[in-house]
Structure 1
Amino acid sequence: MVVGSFRRSLSFPNNPNRPSKPRKTFHVRSTSLPCRSHPLISQLKDELTELRTWGSNPNSARTSAWLCDGLSRLRTIHESLDDILGLPQTHDSLRHHSDTVEKLLEDFLRFIDVYGMFQTLIMTLQQEQMAAQVATRRRDDSKIALYVKAMKKMAKEMSKLMSTVRSIGRCPVPVPIDDTELGEVIRDVNEVTVLVSVTVFNGISSSFTSQKSSWMGLKLAKRAKKVKVEEGIEEFQQVGVDSLWGLRKKGDEEVRMVLKKMHELEDCICGIESGSEKVFRSLINTRVSLLNVLTQ
């Protein structure tokens, strides 16, 4: 009797377990999707399209918030690329194309160097801004002259960064033979990284030279003058040379307005610094993932 009861209890698990097959099928589907149809690549393509729209929209106000939005979108793109590089399928596709990976590693190292230098410049800009605010309160024209000189130097350094970034874009990443779509999306990421970086650096650099350009613009065609205005960033242009010269002759209310704009500009610079730091970290993470392709 006991054995019979025991046998009946053993026979229960032998009934068909219908949910097991759907679970197995779903599991296989989630881990064996080819790169061509992987949702991460589709997501990255959408993000790339949106970022290109961000940079090409002529109606966008050139503000610090606009720059920060571009940096945020760029960081998201590199985080998505990092996720794709972590896929086994991606490792399989790139592992046999060491030349492509080496080129990517070189490009990302140069991007990292550029954003490291950019962060140093932004920190210097923050220090110059604080010194300029003190000089404005004291109506010290000699200190303001030093600030204007520092901003001209800053513009030159930003121009050098633009040249460095553009040189990265002149040598496109070769497309891996095993997966053309993967190679194209990686190449597109490099391309938009160049575009966004140039836009950010040029926006800040042009803002520091906008006063001189505006006087020259009186002798130029309206179209050329319009392009020059669009390149600068509003908050930077509002604290121009004209508003800082001759502080001793300005009234108290006028000086207070200048200080207010300078304080607002300080907050904008902090936002740009934060956004660039996040891009910097995402670039490092992506390069580490590329190294893992070769070492694992």
Structure 2
Amino acid sequence: MISGFRRSLSLSGLSPNASPARRRPRDAPRHARSASLPCRSQSALSLIQDEIRSLRSGTASDLERIDRLLAALDDLLRLSRIQDPLRRCPALADRLLDGFLRLLDAQGSFRSAVLALGQHHAEACTAVRRRDPVRLASAARSLRRAEKELVLLATAIKDLTRCPPFTPGLWADAAEAEVAGIVTEAVAATATAMSAVYLGIAAVSSAAASAAAAASTSKDSWMVRALRRPSPSKKREAEEAEMGAMEKLEERMEGLEEGSERVYRSLVNIRVALLNALTPSL
């Protein structure tokens, strides 16, 4: 019996006062409705599947798709029909708790990395404008450290991008197996998208670091060009070339701080929903 699933039946056609012609024959065909999941749960599962497909077809810089999937998953985990399998199956609950804890830790570190990366980017841009090779070399080293940190974050959640099957026989029925499969697939899709975001930002940070380091050590850098007294037009061209990689990094970081904050809050909400589902009500 599925808890929380109440179905109302209309018996007007079988009323004793109804005429024989209006009564429904016993062998008349009837519409068969699946009792595997209540409509609300099934709609929530369908929404998550849609968001998973949308996330996998999106771009690496789009944190909004990740947030939409997490919001849909949060709504699903608050349904009593979905909470029952979590309480009955420790394997599913443990996998979700561990997975979302690691995603939350990674996203928290990513938020800090984004803030630091913004500061490094500002320092590099200032060094270019002031023609300061020492400060630019320092900013290049900072950008390189940020790149390595982001790569490590992506590596730390790499195993979550896979969705290993559960041991057969854990579920009470096919409906519970369906719920477990979709929820674990959502975790894997979230980890994959988050990893892609981290690696994408790491790539542009690496490009900016390389450009900054090359500019600070080039024989045609600021001090040499100052001795040669280049024309104003050539000076502007050099500045534009040096700022190219910085602008690409700035484009990728646009809205990144706000988006990463939303994803972090959504992960916190899911952890709270999981813990509430697993904690017996008093």
CA contact 1:119–1:273 (8 Å) conserved in 2: yes
CA contact 2:41–2:82 (8 Å) conserved in 1: no
1:222-275 CA-to-partner distances (Å, cap 9, x unmatched) read xxxxxxxxxxxxxx6996655665245360354256558746743642412221
Confirm whether residue 38 of structure 1 aligns to residue 42 of structure 2.
yes
Confirm whether residue 185 of structure 1 aligns to residue 182 of structure 2.
yes
Instruction: Give the match for residue 168 of structure 1.
Output: 160
Indicate the percent of aligned positions where both proteins have the same amino acid.
32
TM-score by length of structure 2 reads 0.71
In the alignment, the residues of structure 2 paired with residue 259 and residue 207 of structure 1 have an alpha-carbon distance, to the nearest angstrom, of 13
Instruction: Give the match for residue 255 of structure 1.
Output: 239
Confirm whether residue 279 of structure 1 aligns to residue 271 of structure 2.
no
1:132 match: secondary structure: helix
2:61 match: secondary structure: helix
The one-letter code matched in structure 1 to 2:60 is L
CA contact 1:104–1:173 (8 Å) conserved in 2: no
CA contact 2:137–2:213 (8 Å) conserved in 1: no
Listed as ranges, the gaps of 5+ residues in structure 2 are 1-8, 11-32, 226-233
In the alignment, the residues of structure 1 paired with residue 163 and residue 44 of structure 2 have an alpha-carbon distance, to the nearest angstrom, of 26
In the alignment, which of 242, 253, 264 is matched to residue 269 of structure 1? Answer: 253
Identify the range of structure 1 (256-265 vs 100-109) with the bigger mean alpha-carbon deviation. Answer: 256-265
In the alignment, the residues of structure 1 paired with residue 156 and residue 86 of structure 2 have an alpha-carbon distance, to the nearest angstrom, of 27
In the alignment, the residues of structure 1 paired with residue 171 and residue 76 of structure 2 have an alpha-carbon distance, to the nearest angstrom, of 17
Confirm whether residue 48 of structure 1 aligns to residue 52 of structure 2.
yes
CA 1:196–1:36 in 2, change beyond 3 Å: closer, same or farther? same
Instruction: Give the match for residue 61 of structure 2.
Output: 68
In the alignment, which of 109, 117, 126 is matched to residue 134 of structure 1? Answer: 126
1:115-163 CA-to-partner distances (Å, cap 9, x unmatched) read 0011111111111111112111110011111111112211211121111
CA 1:33–1:183 in 2, change beyond 3 Å: closer, same or farther? closer
2:270 match: secondary structure: helix
CA contact 1:148–1:241 (8 Å) conserved in 2: yes
Backbone CA RMSD of aligned residues: 3.2
The one-letter code matched in structure 1 to 2:202 is S
